[in-house]
Amino acid sequence: MRIAVVGAGGVGGYFGGRLAASGADVHFVARGAHLRAMRQSGLRLISPKGDVHVPRISASDDPAAIGPVDVVMFAVKLYDTEQAVAMLPPLIGPRTIVLPFQNGVDGVDIVTRAVGAPHSGGGTCYVSAAISEPGVIKHTAMDHLIFGELNGSRSERLEMLLAACGRTNFQTTLSSSIHVDIWTKFTRLSVLSGMTTVTRSPLGVIMQDPELRAMLKGAVAEALAVANAKGIPVRSDMVDDVAKAYDALPPQTKASMLVDLENGRRLELPWLSGAVARIGQEVGVPTPIHGFIAAVLKPFVNGKAPEQTTPR
């Protein structure tokens, strides 16, 4: 099967790179210095699960040069989504499915509006990875890819993708309840992103501090209450489950939003803690912790720190 990866950053670059290294027919849509490096030297993954170098990579900034594929792994940042969906039509064939592997809960609706329900699926993932330099993805922790048809069926096209992923060494799940999986990830990630970014600290600092740990668990409870108010049956034991899961992660783990803040890039804040607060307001669920996170980080949402002036 032919796979296109739109967005070759931490998510698309890592999972797409692993697939390419296993022999899958993968084509990347990328841009800028990252694209130039991939064309010149291939794609390199630095990972505790083993480094990988794929010396020859199919990569382009023009989807028409790739043509129709069986699966599109759509992994652009949320603030680039509306612009990126315009690149999808040349990749769509009669049976193509587009799987948004993005943070937040808005990706499926945006993709469906762009390509239509027959070509839309759902996806989410757990991975800590980022571009460390052009052509290089640094993977720190977790690598679980989850995808499914929106109606819960086990289609031939996703069975084929599951088989391709089975030849890699990352974890893969073909889900029969992808909406629940997306909201479960949203609940977890909004907290990880918000807490590490607002404290400017890796996860270990938060989990070892009693007050910050309690704040993290409170943020999980808020997001869980919002999901349940929306009618999404996210597991009720998630508060303790998330705390245990984060205890098991490497203490140096950082959310990609913290990495973006440190590098003066735009933040996905409006689609993470900002979305918890917004949706909470819509469904009548108080979200004071996520509201605090969204308010404190708002000056940085468009990238770079605001200019400071000294009063006279």
CA 56: distance to chain centroid? 25
Helix, strand, coil percentages (3-state) for the chain, rounded to 5, are 50, 20, 30
Provide the 10 A C-beta neighbour count for residue 288: 12
pLDDT score recorded for residue 306? 53
The residues pairing with 97 across neighbouring beta strands, listed in sequence order, are 71
Both structure tokens of 211: 């007050």
- Pick from 154, 130, 132, 151: which is nearest to 142 by CA? 130
Averages of pLDDT over each 10 residues, the chain, 312 residues: 96 98 98 97 97 96 98 94 94 98 92 97 93 95 95 97 97 97 94 97 96 97 95 89 89 90 94 96 98 98 67 46
Domain boundaries, the chain: 2-176, 181-300
pTM of the model: 0.88
- Sheet of 2-6: strand order equals 58-60, 25-29, 2-6, 69-74, 92-100
Tokens 């108010």 -> residue: 229
Q: What φ, ψ does residue 51 adopt, rounded to 5°? A: -75, 150
Both structure tokens of 153: 């069926």
- Pick from 80, 76, 13: which is nearest to 42 by CA? 13
pLDDT score recorded for residue 310? 45
Phi-psi sector, 76: left (phi>0), alpha (psi -120 to 50), beta: beta
Domain formed by 181-300, architecture: Orthogonal Bundle (1.10)
User: 2-176 adopts what CATH topology?
Assistant: Rossmann fold (3.40.50)
248 Cβ neighbours under 8 A, 6+ residues apart: none
pLDDT score recorded for residue 12? 98
Q: What φ, ψ does residue 291 adopt, rounded to 5°? A: -65, -40
pLDDT score recorded for residue 250? 86
Q: What φ, ψ does residue 128 adopt, rounded to 5°? A: -115, 105
Cα 57 to Cα 38: distance, rounded to the nearest angstrom: 7
Cα 180 to Cα 283: distance, rounded to the nearest angstrom: 18
